[in-house]
Amino acid sequence: MTVTPVLSTSAVAPVVSLVRGAQAHRAAVERLLSSYRAIPAGQRVRLAKRTSNLFRNRAPVTSPGLDVSGLDGVISIDPAARTADVQAMCTYETLVATTLPYGLIPLVVPQLKTITLGGAVTGLGIESSSFRNGLPHESVLEMDILTGDGELVTVRPPDELFRGFPNSYGTLGYATRLRIELEPVRPAVDLRHVRFDDLHKLTQAIETISTGGGDVDFLDGVVFSATESYLTLGTYTDDLSGLSDYTGAEPYYRSIQRRQQDKLTVHDYLWRWDTDWFWCSAAFGAQNPKVRKYWPARYRRSDVFHKLVGLETKYGFVSRIDAWRGKPARERVIQDVELPVGRTAEFLEWYLEHVPMTPVWLCPLRLRDSGNSLPADSKPWSLYPLRSGHTYVNAGFWGTVAIEPGRRDGDKNREIEDAVAGFGGHKSLYSDAYYDEATFWAAYGGNDYPALKAKYDGEGRLLDLYAKTVGRH
């Protein structure tokens, strides 16, 4: 077996210490099954997870959780076939560290290190290769799933559970093993930051590039205002001269405004957003040079910032100080929404007028054909309203806004949900949602979900999709 080294400004652990092996995986699955059997019949089932990338307000958990210990690694890699068998709780940080020394990476690597492969598939993930590779679940070849009924099943396309698992958020079952495709990489990524002063011209460029206009490997963008937005075009290169490093003093997103061209190792490109949680580290003072100087680099990462948000949510330190100072209460607005490319500029114009919060991240995506010759306008994934042959743009915006006099917490999010639907889009369900049931099921697989739920979780051991993503559970 030949290992192709890929240079990085960050150390990559040896492959031998990261690949877990089939025997260890079988033992971990048996622990999981044993913990399921130990939960009394009729009682709710959940994962005993320590971390989460969700942003929903949930009721305190009192029921016992499934034992997922030992399900957080890579089982094996086949460099010749460009595939990997991966445990569902494996983070992309671990997955990339394991595959990169082989010169391979997953087809889509979500932007935050602690997102897990299972989470990205059942809850969806996205990144700048999505305009050519779709979403993470589209490069899955097969999955082992522990269903709500306690059965361990292996599913492949075109199985109904395989098609219904994405966007099910653990309400049909939990993946234990996923076999995924990998793709070859080169050592670095050349970046071109192209400025636009017109949002309509920006979205026209997205459609042109996404449908084959140009030699581009990665594509995403940032909107700072109606007259200042950028597309970043990334292209693989073997040239390792003139590399930048944004794990230090300067946040990556500021370089987009200051540089027309740039270059990062492929490792640092994949994690360019994680160091400052896009731009959200500013809320903790981590972008202030005086603070950043003393903020240890190992703690400048998304999961640390997420924990700080959790502490604020639990204890409300900042909220109490703001109230003492006479400042208005604030509403959390953390959303990723997906619009047809032809309506994206209109939505952004609406957003910039009604939601005083920038920047906004843009990430184009198209469903991946992968040689299956998808019929035009088909919807191959049961619970997610994307259609083949169409370009969409994910708009991500994360922060808080002041609650205006006479308004209540949640009103701005409801306003955004209505606007997104009005522009023909939909939103990811990892954060707070306010839909009524009829509206929700019309958008998220209401025709297919009941049959899947009855077949794979007939006793209702798992919450249903509406209760899990909209209800406060």
- The CATH number assigned to the domain holding 229 equals 3.40.462
Q: 460 in a domain, yes or no?
A: no
Q: 147: part of which helix (H) or strand (E)?
A: strand 140-147
Tell whether 114 and 159 lie within a shared domain.
Answer: yes
3 state SS of 432: coil
pTM: 0.91
Distance between CA atoms of 360 and 353, rounded to whole angstroms?
13
Distance CA 48, CA 32 (A): 10
Q: Which domain holds residue 202?
A: 188-427
- Contact in structure between 403 and 319 (CB atoms under 8 Å): no
Residue 450 maps to a domain: no
Structure tokens at 324: 């003492």
In one-letter notation, the amino acid at residue 427 is K
pLDDT of the residue at 7:
41
In a domain, 266, yes or no: yes
Q: Domain total for the chain? A: 2
Specify whether 244 is located in the same domain as 308: yes
pLDDT value of residue 433 = 92
**Same-domain pairing of 93 and 142:** yes
Predicted confidence at residue 11, as pLDDT, reads: 39
Shared domain for 271 and 288, answered yes or no, is yes
Residue 415 pLDDT: 97
Q: In DSSP terms, which residues pair with 394 in a beta bridge?
A: 338, 363
CA angle (153, 158, 159) in 5-degree steps = 30
Query: For the chain, what is the largest distance between any 2 Cα atoms, rounded to a whole number of angstroms?
Result: 66
For residue 141, the SS3 value is: strand
Based on the domain organization, do 140 and 114 belong to the same domain? yes
Chosen domain end from 128, 150, 184 = 184
Domain boundary among 161, 184, 207: 184
pLDDT of residue 58: 57
Residues 297 and 217 in one domain: yes
Q: Are 90 and 160 in a shared domain? A: yes
In a shared domain, residues 367 and 236: yes
Which one of 427, 451, 468 terminates a domain?
427
Does 346 reside within a domain? yes
Residue 452 counted as domain residue: no
* 5 part of a folded domain: no
Are residues 260 and 386 both part of a single domain?
A: yes
The pLDDT of residue 373 is 60
| Residue 77 domain-assigned (yes or no) | yes
> Is the domain of 244 the same as that of 342?
yes
Q: Quick check: is 15 in a domain?
A: no
pLDDT in the model for residue 214: 73
Q: How many CB atoms lie within 10 A of CB 331?
A: 19
246 and 196 inside one domain: yes
Q: Which residues of the chain have pLDDT under 70?
A: 1-18, 48-63, 213, 312, 322, 370-374, 472-473
C-alpha closest to that of 76 among 180, 147, 171:
180
Q: What is the 3-state secondary structure (H, E, C) of 328-357?
A: CCEEEEEEEEEEEHHHHHHHHHHHHHHCCC
Position 56 scores a pLDDT of 55
Task: Classify 360 as helix, strand or coil.
Answer: strand
Do residues 274 and 405 share a domain? yes
Say what the pLDDT of residue 62 is. Answer: 60
DSSP helix, strand, coil percent of the chain (3-state; round to 5): 35, 20, 45
State the pLDDT at residue 84.
96
Q: Encode pLDDT of 135-185 as tens digits.
A: 999 999 999 999 999 999 999 999 999 999 999 999 999 999 999 999 999
* CATH code for the domain in which residue 163 is found: 3.30.465.10
